Amino acid sequence: MRFRAALVAFGSAAVFAGLASCGKAELTQQERGARPGDTGTVQVPAPGGSAPAEPGPVSPAPAPDETPSPAPEVPVPPEAEEPPPPPEFSRILWVSPQGADAAEGSQAKPFRTVAKALSVVRPGEAVFLETGTYSERLKLEERGGGTDRMLTVKAAPGASPVFKGGSGNGTPMIDVRGAYWRIEGLTLDLAGDRAFAVFWRGKGAHHGILRGSILKNGTEGAGVSIAESASDVLIEDNEIHHFKKSGEDSHGVAVQTTARNVVVRSNDIHHNSGDGVQCLGPEGGATVEGTPFDNLLVEDNALHENQENGVDIKTCTRVTLRHNTIWGHQRTATSAGEGVVVHLSASDVTVEDNTVRANGRGIVVGGVRVNAPPARIVVRRNLVLDGDGSGDNDGLGIRVDTATDVKVQHNTVWNMPGACLVFGHGTSGPTKTLDVRNNVLAGCAVTLRGGDDRSGVVMDRNLYFRSGGKAVFRRESEDLDLDGWRAATGLDAHSVEKAPAFVDVDSEDFTPGPDSPAKDSGADLGLSFCGQAPDRGAVEADCP
């Protein structure tokens, strides 16, 4: 379930670099002394075998069959050893269901409850939990921690501690109110309780980490919630699943108004009744009023088979979704089954380098709207594959609805039972300032649907293909070929219709092959490329 990636500078990147060090001091390189050499004076005989210039005794010459004794070896001093690294924790407190709170909290004599350990833990220390079932609800309050002095609650090495709900308790299983708390290696099984598994809340709840844990089976609005001005939280390498609220959304991870600076990385989030990741805005169901959530990074996650969407970005600012694999979302009464949806008044959102497959809709910008539409949205270098057209699903690739300043560039959309691309059919306003260039749109029933509710659209250098016949360009209700589309709209002057000749579609290698018309034929949009010119589509060929 682990999908780890290299740390990427983002938002408060220096902060997360400090968190990732987990309190380990940096080792310093030891200086080594110079190797000693010979310091004696060598006497050189005078030419012709005469006596030394300096007076002194002369040793007799060796006999012809004698070998001079070798010079004594100069001992080489051993290299100085680097000191061992400092311990990760200044002290470890141990907890076991078989322990006693009157004990000293050592490994040999552990406490019985986590609450007892939390009452005495200090910055830089850790609470290690032994295997067993715990029924406690934890409150992690302010204890004066810091970047290099985090407070840690984690599974002991090799242990599998399980926090078990089922009592009907509505209190979060872990309620984080303080700063610099790290939670690792726990299983949090809500067992049907209407409660969050982990809840960061309040201005004091900042610089926290949830890592390597399993969260499941809750019936509140999310597995992990970050709200009420909490900030600088890393959710990494967890499995979050089966949070289901009857008739309502329950998301894997939910962030909302007034909170900021969150990274959701390398998690497996699935089978929740809402979205895998939800960014709530002030008009999108947030529980508190205030400024939109700011600065979210969602990367390297597997987001799949949730009841609504893989990722839902409402009125939030500065959001990046990258390197995620998103699949298995279908239309329901409350969702069109989008892999990614960016709507309401979201702004400054980048969706890049994701693989989005087998969803009712792939990536959608715009749609539901209360105030201003989404603005400054970038959709680039995504693979959008194998749309789901079963039942009521649209089976489409990318849709740009009511939005302003949207870039759809260098994407590959393949095998859609619906349209590869849809724009200009806004249900709540026009599509404005849309840039569609360097994409490969292929293998779709309809290559694109372009409505007239649009302005400022630029389309060019795209590669189109439809197996079994010419590509279909649907303008309102009229189906056109590429030449007819150009004549009717003035768009796609340098776009072409040819088979893309990918390396191997069956193994999902969508790199342009040696003879692909996508290779070295794109417009230079200021992005990096590896050949003589940019390739069209999501994958660049000839990169080392």
Judge whether 167 and 135 are in contact, CB under 8 Å: yes
- The Cα 228–Cα 209 span in angstroms is 17
Strand partners, 313: 279, 342
- The answer to whether position 81 is within a domain reads no
In the chain, what are the helix, strand and coil shares in percent, each to the nearest 5?
5, 35, 60
The alpha carbon dihedral of 508, 512, 515, 518 has a sign of positive
Q: What is the pLDDT of residue 335?
A: 94
**SS3 assignment, position 113:** coil
Q: What is the pLDDT of residue 53?
A: 38
- The answer to whether position 44 is within a domain reads no
- The answer to whether position 102 is within a domain reads no
- The Cα 215–Cα 188 span in angstroms is 5
- The answer to whether position 92 is within a domain reads no
Q: What is the pLDDT of residue 58?
A: 38
Judge whether 254 and 278 are in contact, CB under 8 Å: yes
Q: Output the tens digit of pLDDT for each of the chain's 544 residues.
A: 444 443 333 344 444 444 444 443 333 333 333 333 333 333 333 333 333 333 333 344 444 455 556 666 777 777 777 777 778 999 999 999 999 999 999 999 999 999 999 999 999 999 999 999 999 999 999 999 999 999 999 999 999 999 999 999 999 999 999 999 999 999 999 999 999 999 999 999 999 999 999 999 999 999 999 999 999 999 999 999 999 998 889 999 999 999 999 999 999 999 999 999 999 988 766 777 788 999 999 999 999 999 999 999 999 999 999 999 999 999 999 999 999 999 999 999 999 999 999 999 999 999 888 899 999 999 999 999 999 999 999 999 999 999 999 999 999 999 999 999 999 987 788 999 999 999 999 999 999 999 999 999 999 999 999 998 999 999 999 999 999 999 999 999 999 999 999 999 999 999 999 999 999 999 999 999 999 999 999 999 999 9
Domain that holds residue 167: 143-380+388-435+445-461
What are the φ/ψ torsions at residue 192 (nearest 5 degrees)?
Answer: 90, -5
- The answer to whether position 329 is within a domain reads yes
- The answer to whether position 336 is within a domain reads yes
Identify the CA nearest to 431 among candidates 461, 408, 460. 408
- The Cα 441–Cα 409 span in angstroms is 11
Tokens at 85, concatenated: 């690294």
Tokens 């969050």 sit on residue: 196
CA 65 to chain centre: 78
- The Cα 298–Cα 501 span in angstroms is 32
**SS3 assignment, position 485:** helix
Judge whether 181 and 206 are in contact, CB under 8 Å: no
Which domain CATH number covers 182?
Answer: 2.160.20.10
Judge whether 241 and 271 are in contact, CB under 8 Å: yes
- The answer to whether position 278 is within a domain reads yes
Identify the CA nearest to 365 among candidates 407, 331, 329. 407
- The answer to whether position 326 is within a domain reads yes
Q: Number of folded domains in the chain? A: 1
Tokens at 410, concatenated: 């260098």
